[in-house]
């Protein structure tokens, strides 16, 4: 089993919830890159978006992913991590990258207020457009794709463990 595993996917995919459980199961450190970003910049994702815009948030996310320690970690990335070729190359070099794939309907169901969630998107871009833009990127960078539409995080964890053991 790899000593570094990264989770990618849309906001609401359950990367943080699943990540904590998976890290416990595998004895890895749990790292949430969104939390690291917020601590490093002393601002919420939404505050960065409001003050500096979506491209600045993406750049800050990439910087965090490129500079944080990745060894012996389960990394829950921000939803826009896939916009950074260099950050994704680093994560793929460190170990498996698991795309927790959910439907647009599930995204909408799990995200109450997209306007305050800190989602890095262009002004006026709705969730459907973000989903359509990011989904091919998630597939491109993933070494494994797991269905995350189930309501039970433990089922998603089991599916990830099964996929990782198959390799």
Query: Could you tell me which residues are annotated as the binding site for ATP?
Result: 12-17, 117
139 in Cβ contact with 99 (< 8 Å) = yes
Q: Which helix (H) or strand (E) holds 99?
A: strand 97-101
Residue set of the binding site for Mg(2+) = 16
Which residue has tokens 């070729």? 85
Q: How far is the C-alpha of 104 from the C-alpha of 113, rounded, in Å?
A: 14
Which residue has tokens 């599916």? 159
Residue set of the binding site = 12-17, 34, 58, 79, 117, 134
Residue set of the binding site for substrate = 34, 58, 79, 134
Phi, psi (5° rounding) for residue 148?
A: -105, 15
Q: How far is the C-alpha of 114 from the C-alpha of 3, rounded, in Å?
A: 33
7 in Cβ contact with 76 (< 8 Å) = yes
Both tokens of residue 86? Answer: 């260099």
């Amino acid at each position: 089993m790899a000593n570094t595993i990264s989770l990618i996917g849309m906001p609401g995919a359950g990367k943080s919830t699943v990540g904590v459980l998976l890290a416990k199961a595998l004895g890895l450190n749990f790292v949430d890159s969104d939390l690291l970003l917020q601590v490093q910049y002393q601002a919420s994702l939404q505050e960065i978006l409001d003050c500096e815009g979506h491209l600045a948030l993406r750049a800050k996310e990439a910087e965090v992913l490129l500079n944080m320690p990745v060894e012996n970690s389960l990394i829950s990335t921000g939803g826009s991590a896939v916009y950074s070729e260099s950050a994704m190359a680093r994560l793929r070099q460190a170990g498996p990258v698991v795309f927790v794939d959910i439907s647009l309907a599930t995204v909408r169901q799990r995200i109450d207020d997209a306007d305050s969630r800190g989602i890095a998107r262009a002004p006026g871009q709705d969730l459907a457009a973000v989903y359509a833009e990011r989904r091919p990127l998630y597939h491109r960078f993933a070494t494994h794709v797991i269905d995350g539409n189930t309501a039970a995080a433990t089922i998603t964890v089991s599916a990830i463990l099964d996929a990782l053991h198959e390799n």
